[in-house]
């Protein structure tokens, strides 16, 4: 089974090496289409913006442009759909997004996409995938963008659930709508618990996967999933809220499974052949723990995976575990 997976991994790498630019364009197109469709599903209030032609055209543009364009088009789509309810709702959405954009450009400009991926993950019932995935592949600073993504999702959910209430014609009603949105976010304890869970899990996954212990990535993935369920369940008990146990567990299990896939492609090593290396120069002795990567299996050779070569010219003594 492992050999078959390694062969598949090798073929995928060869495919990406040959057609990487085309595959990236296709991936960006599909991702943009998914993001825009989910926004329109949550906020379907301007008929022209949810037309399939408009979504396809915007996705096509995003596929050949930098990632940040997808973020700005997605944010613009949110504001535009909110305008279908009322200009004050659109203004509130714009102010919220501007604050987020200013802060993420200041701290984590490379993680802009997580602002849109987080609401999509919630829509698919796998919110835990965001902190696990970014904890494995990014740094703790990604928690800032992930937290903003949570706020953005709960804002869209708030607008979607109360669209009929937020329609007001006179000035007094518009002011009340703004106050309602502000209170709906500031006093949303469930959102606060979710942000805490996201930040905590992302940091746990990042710290654990960098530990010098065997199977660190596996421990990080499963530990992050368990931590997420504990925090969300504890938050539900504290808030005296009903926690849908089955969706929580199922979504976390799917997120852990995807995390294991990321481990296979980004950090697949053979701990059974770990070596302790000792070498020296004129001033220091060096003690190194070397864990060989598992290379792609040859389809017909049946040989063991190759190890990453170590420069023998600098090695004075090798002690195998």
- Using a pLDDT cut of 90, give the percent of the chain over it: 45
pLDDT value for 300: 37
Instruction: Name the residue among 100, 92, 99, 98 with its Cα closest to residue 118.
Output: 100
Stretch among 51-55, 147-151, 242-246 having the lowest mean pLDDT = 242-246
Residue whose tokens read 């997004």:
97
Binned at pLDDT 50, 70 and 90, residue 303 comes out as very low
pTM over 0.75: yes
Q: Is the pLDDT of residue 123 over 60?
A: yes
- Burial of 226 from C-beta contacts in 10 A (0-12 / 13-18 / 19+): middle
Which pair of structure tokens corresponds to residue 217?
A: 């990535």
Query: For residue 136, is pLDDT > 80?
Result: yes
pLDDT of residue 224: 96
pLDDT of residue 132: 95
**Could you tell me the two tokens for 73?**
């088009």
Higher model confidence: residue 285 or residue 80? 80
Q: Out of 10-24, 34-48, 72-86, 181-195, which region has the weakest mean confidence (pLDDT)?
A: 10-24
Reduced to 3 states (helix: H, G, I; strand: E, B; else coil), residue 139 is coil
| pLDDT tens string 185-238 | 998 888 999 999 999 999 999 999 988 888 888 899 999 999 999 999 998 888
Q: What percent of the chain has pLDDT over 70?
A: 84
Alpha helices (H) in 43-141, listed in sequence order = 52-63, 67-83, 87-107, 114-123, 129-137
> Which one is predicted more confidently, 152 or 287?
152
* pLDDT computed for residue 271 by the predictor: 60
pLDDT band per the 50, 70, 90 thresholds, residue 316: very low
Confidence of residue 270 (pLDDT cuts 50, 70, 90): low
Residue 230 is predicted with a pLDDT of 95
Helix boundaries (H) for the chain: 2-42, 52-63, 67-83, 87-107, 114-123, 129-137, 142-161, 171-186, 189-209, 216-238, 245-266
Average pLDDT over residues 90-115: 83
Q: What local confidence, expressed as pLDDT, does residue 236 receive?
A: 84
Q: In the predicted model, what is the mean pLDDT of residues 249-254? A: 95
State the average pLDDT for the chain.
Answer: 83
Dmax over Cα atoms in the chain, in whole Å? 83
Structural domain boundaries in the chain? 2-268, 272-320
Instruction: List, in sequence order, every residue forming a beta bridge with 317; answer none if it has no partner.
Output: 278
The answer to whether residues 89 and 83 touch, using CB atoms and an 8 Å cutoff, is: yes
């Amino acid at each position: 089974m492992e050999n078959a997976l390694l062969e598949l991994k090798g073929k995928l790498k060869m495919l990406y090496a040959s057609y990487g630019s085309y595959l990236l364009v296709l991936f960006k197109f599909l991702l943009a289409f998914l993001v825009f469709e989910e926004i329109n599903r949550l906020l379907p209030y301007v008929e022209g913006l949810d037309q399939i032609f408009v979504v396809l055209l915007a996705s096509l543009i995003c596929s050949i442009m930098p990632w940040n364009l997808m973020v700005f088009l997605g944010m613009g789509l949110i504001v535009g759909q909110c305008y279908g309810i009322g200009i004050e709702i659109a203004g509130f959405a714009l102010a919220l997004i501007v604050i987020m954009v200013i802060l993420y450009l200041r701290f984590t400009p490379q993680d802009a996409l997580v602002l849109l991926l987080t609401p999509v993950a919630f829509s698919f019932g796998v919110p835990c995938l965001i902190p696990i995935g970014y904890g494995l592949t990014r740094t703790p600073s990604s928690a800032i963008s992930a937290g903003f993504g949570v706020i953005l999702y709960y804002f869209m959910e708030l607008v979607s659930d109360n669209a009929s209430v937020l329609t007001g014609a006179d000035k007094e009603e518009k002011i009340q709508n703004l106050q309602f949105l502000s209170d709906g976010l500031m006093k949303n304890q469930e959102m606060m618990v979710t942000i805490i869970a996201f930040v905590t899990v992302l940091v746990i996954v990042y710290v654990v996967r960098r530990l010098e212990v065997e199977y660190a990535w596996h421990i990080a993935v499963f530990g992050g999933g368990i931590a997420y369920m504990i925090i969300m369940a504890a938050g539900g008990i504290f808030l005296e809220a009903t926690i849908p146990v089955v969706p929580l567990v199922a979504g976390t299990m799917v997120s852990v499974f995807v995390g294991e896939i990321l481990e296979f492609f980004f950090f697949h090593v053979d701990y059974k052949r770990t070596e302790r290396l000792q070498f020296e120069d004129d001033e220091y002795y060096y003690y190194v723990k070397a864990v060989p990567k598992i290379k792609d299996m040859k389809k017909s050779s049946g040989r063991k995976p190759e190890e990453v070569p170590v420069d023998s010219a600098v090695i004075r003594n090798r002690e195998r575990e």
